[in-house]
Amino acid sequence: MADEKMLQLAINTIRTLSIHAVQQAMSGHPGTPMALAPLVYTIWNRVLQFDRQDPIWPNRDRFVLSNGHASMLLWAILHLTGVQAVNAEYENLGQPSVTLDDIRRFRQLTSKAAGHPEYHWVSGVETTTGPLGQGVATSVGMAIAQKWLAARYNQPEFNIFDYNIYAVCGDGCLMEGVASEAASLAGHLGLDNLCWLWDNNHITIEGNTNITFTEDVAARFLAYGWNVLRVGDANDIERIERALAVFQQTEGRPTFIVLDSHIGYGSPHKQDSPEAHGEPLGDKEVRLTKRAYGWPEDAKSLVPEGVYGHFQEGIGKRGAQARKHWLELFAACQTEFPNLADEIARMQRRELPAGWDRNLPTFPADPKGLAGREASGKVLNVLAQNIPWFLGGSADLGSSNKTTLTYPGAGHLQASAPGGKNVHFGIREHAMGAVVNGMSLSKLRPFGATFFIFSDYARPAIRLSAIMELPTIFVFTHDAMGDGEDGPTHQPVEHLASLRAIPGLVTIRPGDANEVVEAYRYIVQLRHQPAALVLSRQPLPTLDRAKYASRAGVARGAYTLADAVGGDPELILIASGSELSLAAEAQEQLVAEGIRCRIVSMPSWDIFEHQPKEYRESVLPPRVKPRIAIEQASTFGWARYVGEAGRVIGMDTFGASAPLKELQKKFGFEPDRVVTIAKNLLAAGLNQVA
């Protein structure tokens, strides 16, 4: 009886901490934390293999709160279980990840208890969630990663990676298409280490789900190939625990648990109301709810005596013992399999193995050249052999993106072969982005690929990757009008500007095959930034580096490819990608007419903007006013580099359906047009005095 009383006290502590935090902030969602407190208690205190002293222990179970508006559930449980803070250097700081004061300052500046869970800000948060569906989709990437890690590193008597992933979601998550994409992929891959728990409360902010969401969700997940269970009462701890035990025993299928709940608990007229989900309860309702819990009505942020100890006796002891056993196992593995153990250690620190860049190609000068996607494919095959945990694939476009890894032993990741390096995402670009994030959160080095136009479908996940500061890699081919006959639906125009606008995302558009190599060399060394590599479908001339500057300039974002002959430049041509060779052709004509012209290759605005001012001004001297930027994309943003006096040869409309040469002529991407505009700028009498 005493144990039952303490159990309810612990659950109600989660609830009341959530109620008071939301009320204090006058912002947030108390209903779901109130309803799901028993579920979160059961997962954490009875099931989860997680050591509060080491929240980045590699073999911990992962807990994902996909309905991130219920973040107080996470802040309460991280505080009550005593999860410790770890810094970016993987050092335990000896202080709580979430303090009671953080909870009191819920949703306030500098509080760790933010409005939605934020990875890398708070130890114990496995992924940033908030946009509904992203959390569950990301959890699929975590599950794929565990299967891959187990396939490579587990040995007889050395079960190094055997953790599970638990993801809590709501109606909103399951309405979002990304969740459906990810669930389909998880069922195909038979991810039996993955459990989604659906808070089936029939409520959204607009009201009861009967106005929008009446499908048979359980039948849908059965069709995906999941094991579907139902718990009819979200307050029934024993039934929840039994369902989780069934998940742990299920083989060959992920598990979907339908948890029937009420959005509010306490004041009867508040139950099942959208207001309880979407706004604070109000002082009167707070008091009534606490009265229903048998809680002191005037107490705020109360953690009753014995609650901390109760969690220490549960997850505290279980997690410490599990981690102690794992550390002993890993120490033995270091002796028996030192190379594998070294890989694991490097991977966890996001380090690279020795010789990771050996055999990267150098492409000879060739006027016919090589497509960016072809050069990329050759580099990917080298990197995947040099970096054991480097893997990825395309959204059904591997043969066109040239991302298929073809070296002997690369393999294809499937349910029966979880250690393959080729990941087949299917035509699921949005889920692909989230899955790549989940794999990266598990410390693999993944890449995902598709046509550049379809970056639109993946963009929400790319944005989250940047927010989380993950070193994910997105490979986008068919970067402009190279697939001309497919027309404007397949010709990206605004996409470069869109990706360049994402803070923290490194976007690189290389101008020839050797710039592609250097782009990868730069990207692979990133530890806290995602990168988007934008590549051509059509062959681009491979520039003669005896004539032009070293390809190493890519690492600075922009560099002087060819300088003016006979003195300081009168004019600067700036280009990226397929237009770099166009700028080179135009420069030759201008030089032949005695015009001193500099070419600047600018594959990455982001990298260039992080260079010292002295370097940036050496590449683009302020005194040189006549400038022309050339790019088969939106002109938006180029004014910062060409100034008011310069010109941009770009796209201000969508494309058209025609062969590439006709499109280049129609939209003015020809050397003669560049030369004409250059002469007009110079004739306008623009001086070169700063």
For residue 137, which of 172, 183, 169, 170 has the smallest C-alpha distance?
183
3-state secondary structure of 518: helix
Mark residue 274 as left, alpha or beta (left: phi above 0; alpha: psi -120 to 50; beta: remaining). Answer: alpha
Residues in the chain: 690
**SS3 category, 242:** helix
2-25 helix and 71-80 helix, angle to the nearest 10 degrees: 130
- In sequence order, which ranges of 501-573 are alpha helices (DSSP H)? 513-524
Helix then strand then coil, in percent of the chain rounded to 5, is 45, 15, 40
Q: What is the DSSP code string of 571-602? A: EEEEE-TTHHHHHHHHHHHHHHTT--EEEEE-
632, 668 Cβ separation under 8 angstroms: no
Q: What does the alpha-carbon distance between residue 106 and residue 680 come to, in Å, rounded to a whole number? A: 60
The contacts of residue 282 (CB under 8 Å, 6+ apart) are: 23
Separation CA 589–CA 569 (nearest Å)? 15
Yes or no: say if 497 and 504 are a contact pair by the CB < 8 Å rule.
no
Our measurement of the distance from residue 358's CA atom to the centroid of its chain's CA atoms, rounded to an integer in Å, reads: 28
- E strands, 335-389, in order: 366-371
Mode of pairing for the β-strands spanning 62-65 and 165-169: parallel
Catalytic residue among 118, 429, 570, 579: 429
To 10 degrees, what angle do helices 217-224 and 177-189 make? 40
What is the DSSP track for 381-420? HHHHHHSTTEEEEESS-HHHHT----STT--EEBTTBTT-
Distances (CA, A) of 302 to 15, 21, 71, 235: 11, 11, 18, 22
Contact between 258 and 229 under an 8 Å Cβ cutoff? The reply is: yes
| Residue 66, SS3 per DSSP | coil
* 429: annotated active-site residue: yes
List active site positions.
Answer: 429
